[in-house]
Amino acid sequence: MEAIAQDIDVRTKVIKRNGREVNFQIEKIIAAIGKANKEVSDLYKMNDYQIVAVAENVAKRVAQSTHAVSVEDIQDMVETGIMEMRAYEVAQIYVRYRFKREISRKSNTTDDGILALIDQVNEEVKQENSNKNPVINSTQRDYMAGEVSKDLTKRVLLPEDVVKAHEEGIIHFHDADYFAQREHNCDLINLEDMLQNGTVISETMIEKPKSFYTACNITTQIVAQVASNQYGGQSFSLAHLAPFVDVSRQKIRQQVIAEREAVGDDLDENKIERIVKARLQTEIESGIQTIQYQLVTLMTTNGQTPFVTMFIYLDEAEEGQTRDDLALLAEEVFKQRIRGIKNEKGVWVTPAFPKIIYVLAEDNITERTPYYDLTKLAAKCTAKRMVPDYISAKVMRELKNGNVYTCMGCRSFLTVEENIRNANGTNKFYGRFNQGVVTINLVDVACSSNGDMDLFWEILEERLELCHRALQCRHNRLKGTPSDVAPILWQHGALARLEKGETIDKLLYGGYSTISLGYAGLSEMCQRMLGVSHTDEKGKEFALAVMQKLNDKCQEWKKAENISYSVYGTPLESTTYKFAKCLQKRFGIIPHVTDKNYITNSYHIHVTENVDAFKKLKFEADFQKLSPGGAISYVEVPNLQNNLPAVLSIMRYIYDNIMYAELNTKSDYCEECGYDGEIRVIEDTSGKLVWECPNCGNRNQDKMSVARRTCGYIGTQFWNQGRTEEIRDRVLHIATPEFDDADMNVNASVK
């Protein structure tokens, strides 16, 4: 029988149940069928040629698959193949064997996954998070705990219908690996309170810092502590550090005067000011460097660098000296980020964190404004290192009741709640947080309705209620949590100053925290239902109606329960691949719908769709309005380091048209040949997507530095095959670096 099948050569990858990715082996199918075949009487036995025919047919289907198939998929194919041979008795034995094995596995669902993780062969986990290195011990500890948590969550903590929908890719219950621990998602740190009024870190009193440098050190410790007590992103404002610049200025001035008096030097004011300015600049450089280097070298208990965002909004600081000092800090942040950080080989590369957001406002957006030089420096930084990202103060005020504030990480925004205010009467945002996310797969809704519009709305209603029940599980899991579980968050100012033993329940209601209904695949949804993209007028009308439905449901739930449900444009990092695989399994390959190994993030225009940068931003702005819980748009651009006017033009367009956007540049380095440019994705002989240096052909990921924007954050640890395919497929929204500033008023060139 082996001789019959010896010419079969299938190199497609198979994903085992423990997440390990291995080569397809036809011999295993032949052996499995043969084992079942031996258990039936001679009258009902299959002959060798029949067994091989079934195996060959499965092999062909696996070879034709556009993604790594799972063991379950292959077993389904084998079962169908045996039935097609009318070998019903053999099929019965084969099904019985599968059932026994399934029961055996369910008695312990974590061992294989953990062992595969330790052996570094669990491909799903290895590529789950593009900023976590799965090889190092601390990350493995976190992943091992996560495997146990996911197992407990699925078997005990969640309803069966939610678990089933999650596993089938109908919805995604995010971060199940932290659900059992009663942890939450994203935070907007009240750094101002913690620095001005003191805090406690690891049972140690931290008083108000007496210098800017000390404030920077304390900030990094706060960020690390917060990251170790939740699982999502966090943000802090650089404006909260700005007052400490003058604290250091006055301190340095006193020191300079004392030094000069001690040696009998004159107290000429001009000399003193020059010395103070020079020393202060040195301290600013050291402080910002401390934040940059400590944040990228810190390792939290999650086994990763903190997912932290630095917010820079000049008008957040008091006009005058404090605002000017904030501008000094921002300038130093941009200069240091442009330089980058040195990797282990001593090469300057792009760091993933902290993410930086720079607010475009009336005082920095045109050449006649006082802080325009800082905006030009921000443009240079974006062209080189992909950050900062940009918030338009103008558009945000229109959408957020006159407020301008940062997201809680990469995109999750708090809603404006008029009943939640600071002592001075302003709306309160710092100290608030997000309870968690559940995402609805809109492509699955469309495919399940088979293009029937009435059925679509009926299924959407059912799926939204399923998401609602899943979100209630997240909320109820947090209820009753005592403040003692995370003192830095709940007792010492990061989010609140509750008493010991007090529960966090009051922070879960009334809008103090949000909880997010995520959504994915708006583009493919329109293709399945209408045969057009949502960029088509007919598709846009339908897509906006669906978005309005999501918002209406959130408002309905909020009114009934006093919980701040909000629509959230899900980033989809590894989930994009999971959803795509589930769709292909359930519905097969449908052109423009399920024919990729990824689906589109939230409302974004499909990555393969040719559209210029300005049209893309203008179009997506309408959808940002309907994603109040978080959304970010991007434009894909070539290397624009030698064409900063192009970057500035896009920034001005963002200011006028869309609340939150970013530019995706390329920032790679090959350690084999020293190539400093874009490292590209190619397909190897086995069909797997790999990264290759265009200069020397290097494909060793350990010998290259690649940074790509994948979900709002910059990823640097590479990605699963689905996300890698999505990165490969991205078209440029500005075709060449030769971009004229006047193009903003017409059309940018289209690829």
Asked about 434 being catalytic, the answer comes back as: yes
Annotated catalytic residue within 573, 662, 692, 726: 573
Annotated catalytic residue within 144, 408, 473, 526: 408
602 torsion bin: left (phi>0), alpha (psi -120 to 50), beta (else): left
The DSSP secondary structure of 546-559, one letter per residue, reads: HHHHHHHHHHHHHH
Inter-axis angle of helices 442-449 and 522-530, nearest 10? 10
Number of H helices, E strands in the chain: 24, 24
Distance CA 336, CA 292 (A): 8
Is residue 306 helix, strand or coil? coil
Q: CB–CB of 659/622 below 8 Å? A: no
Annotated catalytic residue within 386, 410, 554, 651: 410
Cα 427 to chain centroid, rounded: 27
The DSSP secondary structure of 436-475, one letter per residue, reads: EEEEEEHHHHHHHHTT-HHHHHHHHHHHHHHHHHHHHHHH
Tokens of 233: 């992103």
Annotated catalytic residue within 37, 129, 149, 185: 185
| Site of tokens 């001075």 | 424
Annotated catalytic residue within 233, 518, 712, 715: 712
Asked about 412 being catalytic, the answer comes back as: yes
Asked about 711 being catalytic, the answer comes back as: no
Asked about 568 being catalytic, the answer comes back as: yes
Asked about 410 being catalytic, the answer comes back as: yes
Asked about 405 being catalytic, the answer comes back as: no
Distance CA 322, CA 300 (A): 32
Distance CA 553, CA 461 (A): 9
Annotated catalytic residue within 65, 392, 412, 667: 412
Inter-axis angle of helices 269-297 and 321-339, nearest 10? 50
Distance CA 537, CA 522 (A): 14
* Residue 294 CB burial class (10 angstroms; 0-12, 13-18, ≥19): middle
Burial 555-574 (b: 16+ CB within 10 A, else e): eebbeeeebbbbbbbbbbbb
* Residue 587 CB burial class (10 angstroms; 0-12, 13-18, ≥19): middle
Annotated catalytic residue within 46, 77, 144, 186: 186
Annotated catalytic residue within 358, 430, 568, 653: 568
Distance CA 375, CA 390 (A): 11
Tokens of 26: 């036809």
Q: Of 124, 148, 144, whose CA–CA distance to 20 is shortest?
A: 124
CA atoms within 13 A on the CB side of 106: 9
Beta strand pairing call for 348-349 and 341-342: antiparallel
* Residue 367 CB burial class (10 angstroms; 0-12, 13-18, ≥19): exposed
CA distances from residue 275 to 137, 249, 267, 281, 289 in whole angstroms, order as listed: 47, 11, 12, 10, 21
Positions marked catalytic: 185-186, 408, 410, 412, 434, 568, 573, 712
